Amino acid sequence: MAEMEQGYIDSLIEKAQKAQKEFESYSQEQVDAIVKAMGKIIYDNAELIAKEAVEETGYGRVDSKILKITRCTTAAWHYLHDKKSVGMIDWDPVEKLATYAKPVGVVAALVPTTNPVSTTVSNGMSILKCRNAMIVSPHPRAKKTTIHGVELINEAIRAAGAPENLVQIVDQPSMAATSELMTKVDVVVATGGAPMVKSAYSSGVPAYGSGAGNATVIIDNTCNTPERQAEAAMNTRISKCSDFGSGCSCDGNLIIHEDVYDGFVAALVKEGAYLANEEEAEKLKAVMWDEAGHRLPNTVAISPQKLAEAAGFEIPADRKFIAVTGGGIENVGKEHFFSSEKLTTLLTLFKYYGEFENALTMMQAMFNVGGKGHSCGIYSFDDDHIHRLGMCAPVSRIMVRQPNNRGNSGSSTNGMPPTSSMGCGTWGGNIVSENICLKHYMNTTWVARPLPEDMPSNEELFGEFNKPDMDVE
C-alpha cells in the first residue's frame, strides 16, 4: 500500500478515536437524539438516495430501494429507541447480577453495492447507539451514493450534538485501503460478497460477516385452498421482485408439493409470473452463468423484461418475474445452475412427491449447492412440518408464511431484530448465527454480588461415581 494511502487511513482512525472518546461520555438521552437524527435524515431523503443508487450502480429498482430505506430506518429506530446502551443496562435481582454497557470503539462498516445507504444507516444506528465511531468503506461502484448518504448523516448528527468525525467514509475506496482500515479498527462488520467477508475475518481484529444467500421456500400440501395459494404466491412475488431480486433474502427456489403444484403455479401467474419454456430456459442459463457456473454480472438485478431481452426473447410488459421449471431432486446440484443463487428476477420451481421428508431432502440438496446458513422459508399450516424444518435446516433463520426478504432482516410482523447484516453461523463461515444488531456492537461488564451458597453435594451430583474428598481445600 502506498505511503500516502496508509497515512490517509491513519488520519481517519485518529479522528475516529478522538470522536469516540468524547462520545463515550454522552448520556443515554444525548445518544438517542443522535441515533434518531441519523435515521430520520436518511428516511427523509429516501427517494433521492434511491434514485442515485440505481443511477450509479445500475442495480435494482427505485421504488424498492425507497421501501428498503424507509423500512430499515423506521424498524431500526422502533427497535432501538427504548433500549439501554449507557451505564447499567440490566439488573437481575435473583442472581444479583448487574450488566454495564461499554463501547467497542471504532467500527469499520463495509457496505455492498446493492444496498449502499440502507446498510450504512441500518448498521450505523446500532453502532452509534453503543457510543462507537464508524468508518464506512463503500463499494467502488456505489461510492458517490454512499458518500452522499454519509454527508447527510453528518449534517443531521452534528445538529443533534454529535462530535465531529463520529461518522467518516473512505472516499477513495480500494482493496488496499479497505484492508488497511480493517487492521486498525476495533471491530469490522462486513456486508457483501464472500471475498469481502473472508478478508474481514482475516484482518486480525474481531469481525462480523454475512454469508451468501440462496433462499429456498417449501410450499407443502397444506397450501391447498385458493386463498392460501393466493397468499403464498403474493409472498413469493413480494420477496422475488424486491429490488429486482438483488438481495440475499429474495426467493430463489420453491419446493412445491405435487398435490398443490398446478394450483399454486396458476396463482403465481396471477401474481405476475412468466413461465419460461424449455428453449427460453436454456437461453436464460446461457446469459446468466458461464460454462463453469459462475454468475455473470450483466444480468444481476434487472427487470424480467430486460432479462428476457438479454436472453433473446420477449415477455409481456406486465410480467413481474420469470419462472423456470427445475424438475425434481435429480435436477438439484452444482451442475444444475438453476438451483443456485440468481440475484435477479428469476425463480426456479421444483416439485416434490409424497412425504414431507422428501421436501426436506431436496432442501438439504439445495443448500449443498449454496446459501447454507442464510435462510429458508415455508408456507405451511402443519406445525409438525414447521418443527421438522426447524430441526434440520442448516440456516440461521426460517420465515413461516411471510416474504423472506422482509422477514429475515426484522419486521413489524415478526420478532427478528432489524438489521442489514445477517450472520449465517459456521455454515456460512460466520462467527454468529443471528441478526447482527445492538448487542454485537457493545462490550459488557458483569458485576456479581455474593449469594448464599446453593450447590448440591458431589454425591448428589455424581452418585456412585463420586470420589470423596476430591474437592477439599
Rg (CA), the chain: 24
Non-local (6+) Cβ contacts of 396 within 8 A are 373, 374, 375, 422, 423, 424, 425, 427, 428, 433, 434
Q: Beta strands of 23-149 (E only): which ranges?
A: 87-92, 97-103, 106-110, 133-137
Long-range pairs for 276-280 at CB < 8 Å and ≥24 separation?
A: 276/322, 276/323, 276/324, 280/308, 280/311, 280/313, 280/324
Sort strands 187-190 and 207-209 into parallel, antiparallel or unpaired.
parallel
- The string of DSSP letters for 213-273 reads ---EEEE-TT--SHHHHHHHHHHHHHHHHGGGGTSTTS--EEEEETTTHHHHHHHHHHTTE
Helix, strand, coil % (nearest 5) of the chain?
A: 45, 15, 35
Q: Which of 72, 241, 248, 424 is catalytic?
A: 248
CA distance 340 to 293: 9
Residue with cell 430505506: 69
Would residue 424 show up in a list of annotated catalytic residues for this protein?
no
- Coil vs helix vs strand at 371: coil
Residue with cell 386463498: 227
88 close to 99: Cβ distance less than 8 angstroms: yes
Residue with cell 458518500: 147
- The C-alpha cell at 231 is 397468499
Query: What order of strands is seen across the sheet that includes strand 442-448?
Result: 87-92, 97-103, 442-448
* Angstrom distances, CA of residue 334 to CA of 119, 291, 330: 30, 12, 11
CA distance 454 to 57: 61
For the annotated catalytic residues, the residue numbers are 248
